Amino acid sequence: MDRIFAKFWNAAIGFYTVWIAYLGIKYGIINSISVKEKTIDEISEENKLNKKAVEIWCNTAYTLSLIDIVRNKYRLKENLKEIFADENSIRNIAGLYSYITIRSLDYAAFDSFFKKGKAQKITKNLIEAYSKATNFDHLFFTRSILTKNVEIYDLLLKGCKVLDVGCGSGEWIFKMSNLFPNSTFIGIDKDENSIKIASSKIKSKNVHFYKKDAKNIDYLNEFEIVNLCEVLCVTKNKEKVLSASYRALKKGGYMIIVEGLIEKPKRDLINKILYPMQLDMALQGGSFLSKNELIKLLSKYSLKTEFIDAGGGLWFILCKKY
């Protein structure tokens, strides 16, 4: 096979690898075989799955080099444990494969986008994909931001008011409110179904969710922390959302912005992930900003900003109001 032909077959294999890994994570198979090798019967029984489906999955995952076969038993490859099964590792794929796979379920909407420029409405799949995609962001926040920024950590620990703008189904708030029971968390999202899902999961009194469009919120100097995790990229009204979030923030408080920042097209690893995602963002009616565009937007406000590179094109921007 010539090299150019092989390149495109490899791309197809990449697409299938993402799907097979996603199915293995979703149905608990990868977790089952991450510590110890198991037979098809054992895996099926443990996860209450159909034997035939498990058998086909295992043979496929073996051919894609995701798992090994040891005396008729199946085991996740040693060097993939951290990436696929260790949710506490910063190298964990942490929902990103799930995001890519779940998003592809809605790609029929591209027809309308390409022909009429129409963005897609928020679907059940999209809400689920969002909650998977931001797992990594939340992990990076607890692992790398909270451990290094003492001021943010102290505010949360002592007890402060936190606004999560575009909270989705509330994953970040639930993680934070468990870690910091002295703080109060308010999540707002313009999507009614996301707020319904978030509200149905509330277990503590320090958590509240409201359906609100961020561009219309009228909080004034009320919160020590305002979080915007992957919100600007999916909204058309970036300036209005930012100015309302800034108004809600108290002097001395922090606005935390988490965004994928895109530059001119370049054939490196990060751009090969960000550009296909940019097309997906466009389908959702949004777009990634460049670092310079975000710096320009933030320059209107009294903020001391710090850009932290989280890898994979994702940035944490810590903005202290002065």
Ligand X SMILES: C[S@@+](CC[C@H](N)C(=O)[O-])C[C@H]1O[C@@H](n2cnc3c(N)ncnc32)[C@H](O)[C@@H]1O
Exposure of 60 by Cβ count < 10 A (0-12 exposed, 13-18 middle, 19+ buried)? middle
Residue among 87 and 268 whose Cβ is closer to ligand X: 87
Radius of gyration of the chain (CA): 21
According to CB under 6 A, which residues from 269 to 298 bind ligand X? none
Residue among 135 and 206 whose Cβ is closer to ligand X: 135
DSSP 21-68: HHHHHHTTHHHHTTTS-B-HHHHHHHHT--HHHHHHHHHHHHHTTSEE
Site string for ligand X, 101-140 (x = CB under 6 A): ---------------------x-------xx--x--x---
Residue among 20 and 133 whose Cβ is closer to ligand X: 133
Site string for ligand X, 143-182 (x = CB under 6 A): -----------------------xxx--xx----------
- Separation of alpha carbons 226 and 252, rounded Å: 12
Q: Give yes or no for a contact between 58 and 103, defined as CB atoms under 8 angstroms apart.
A: no
Name the residue whose CB lies closest to ligand X: 166
**Stretch (H or E) spanning 265:** none
Residue among 56 and 179 whose Cβ is closer to ligand X: 179
Site string for ligand X, 58-97 (x = CB under 6 A): ----------------------------------------
- Separation of alpha carbons 27 and 229, rounded Å: 28
Q: Give yes or no for a contact between 122 and 144, defined as CB atoms under 8 angstroms apart.
A: no
When binding is defined by CB under 6 A, the residue of 22, 106, 155, 189 that contacts ligand X is 189
Spatial CB neighbours of 267, under 8 Å, sequence gap ≥ 6: none
- Give the binding range for ligand X (CB under 6 A) out of 29-37, 48-56, 145-153, 212-220: 212-220
According to CB under 6 A, which residues from 213 to 252 bind ligand X? 213-215, 229-231, 234-235, 237, 241
- Separation of alpha carbons 116 and 138, rounded Å: 35
Number of residues lying near ligand X (CB under 6 A): 25
Site for ligand X, rule CB under 6 A: 122, 130-131, 134, 137, 166-168, 171-172, 188-191, 194, 213-215, 229-231, 234-235, 237, 241
